[in-house]
């Protein structure tokens, strides 16, 4: 019996073919395409974009996480990393219904686990499975793996930093803070995007988070302005903190995608 595809699966299917055995055949950065994985008996979904040919050193790998109530398709439009970095393999993963910390306490909308151990670490297991699978199928440069996300997806980016630091070259959370129950963050390059009029994840909370990041990374107090919205704080640990501050509210500014990609391109894990 034919079934209607899920919202994620209704994305463009062109120029990609995955063989059941896990052998990589072809992928195009023209538009993200649907893929599913089974993790602990649960079907998980996402969208993937990437180059048709990968260079000898391997492709960068970027994970992008939507906010609470969002979707992989939505974040691929609002944070289109693949458009700004066509040489990278970009994965937009789809969350599952989960209680929100600030909204949707009943957990009717899609999101990501809020801390270590929540939902039996289902989303950390999902990330681990996708990363391992793609590394087997593709030539991925293990020194250039990155995570970014907005709101609840930014919180999950911080959770990956707290629990999977050794995997990543840099992080790009937006409109988010690290939870109090997270393990201690270890120094890492980071670009944090924040709206000074954010009333959901209050800007004062994010200011405190940025100050915390600067302490963790041993940054200088005085930053160097790079345009109207970017400020870079140097780190003797090789872990700069960059802020992208805009005058908007909680919504992610699409133009910040370029700043995140440019920062990621400058960072390679030792």
pLDDT digits (tens, 9 = 90+) for 224-250: 999 999 999 999 999 999 999 999 999
**191 has which bridge partners?**
242
* pTM of the full structure: 0.89
| 19-28, 179-188, 210-219: least confident range | 19-28
| Higher-scoring residue by pLDDT: 195, 20 | 195
**What percentage of residues in the chain have a pLDDT greater than 70?**
87
Give the number of other CB atoms < 10 A from CB of residue 65. Answer: 33
Q: What is the DSSP letter of 9?
A: G
- Total Cβ atoms within 10 A of residue 224: 12
Q: Encode pLDDT of 110-121 as tens digits.
A: 999 989 999 999
The reported pLDDT for the residue numbered 27 is: 62
CATH T-level fold of 8-265 = Rossmann fold (3.40.50)
Question: Taking a C-beta distance cutoff of 8 angstroms, is the pair 201, 181 a contact?
Answer: no
Domain ranges in the chain are 8-265
pLDDT, greater one: 213 or 55: 213
**Residue 7 or 125, more confident:** 125
Nearest to 201 by CA among 229, 173, 181, 182: 173
Report the distance separating Cα 94 and Cα 37, nearest Å: 11
Do 184 and 207 form a contact (C-beta atoms < 8 A)?
no
Give the per-residue pLDDT at 28: 55
Tokens 């990041």, residue? 213
CB contact at 8 A, 146 and 62: yes
Classify residue 91 by its DSSP letter.
Answer: E
* Rg, Å, the chain Cα set: 18
Spatial separation of the C-alpha atoms in residues 148 and 64, rounded to whole Å:
5
What integer best gives the mean pLDDT of the chain? Answer: 89
């Amino acid at each position: 019996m034919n079934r209607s595809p899920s919202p994620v699966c209704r994305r463009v299917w062109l120029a990609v073919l995955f063989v059941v055995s896990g052998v990589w055949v072809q992928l195009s950065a023209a538009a993200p395409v649907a893929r599913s994985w089974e993790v602990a008996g649960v079907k998980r979904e996402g969208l993937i974009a990437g180059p048709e040919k990968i260079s000898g050193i391997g492709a960068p790998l970027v994970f992008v996480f939507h906010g609470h109530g969002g979707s992989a398709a939505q974040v691929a439009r609002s944070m289109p990393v693949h458009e700004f970095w066509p040489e990278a393999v970009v994965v937009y993963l789809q969350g599952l219904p989960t209680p929100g910390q600030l909204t949707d306490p009943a957990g009717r909308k899609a999101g990501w686990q809020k801390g270590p151990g929540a939902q039996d670490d289902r989303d950390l297991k999902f990330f681990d499975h996708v990363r391992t699978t793609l590394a087997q199928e593709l030539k991925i440069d293990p020194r250039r793996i990155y995570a970014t996300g907005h709101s609840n997806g930014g919180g999950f980016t911080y959770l990956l930093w707290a629990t999977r630091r050794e995997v990543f070259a840099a992080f790009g959370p937006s409109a988010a803070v690290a939870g109090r129950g997270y393990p201690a963050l270890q120094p890492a390059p980071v670009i944090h995007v924040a709206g000074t009029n954010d009333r959901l994840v209050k800007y004062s909370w994010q200011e405190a988070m940025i100050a915390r990041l600067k302490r963790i990374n041993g940054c200088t107090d005085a930053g160097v302005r790079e345009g109207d919205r970017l400020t870079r704080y140097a780190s003797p640990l090789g872990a700069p903190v960059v802020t992208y501050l805009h005058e908007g509210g909680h919504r992610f500014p699409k133009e910040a995608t370029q700043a995140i990609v440019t920062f990621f391109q400058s960072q390679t894990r030792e």
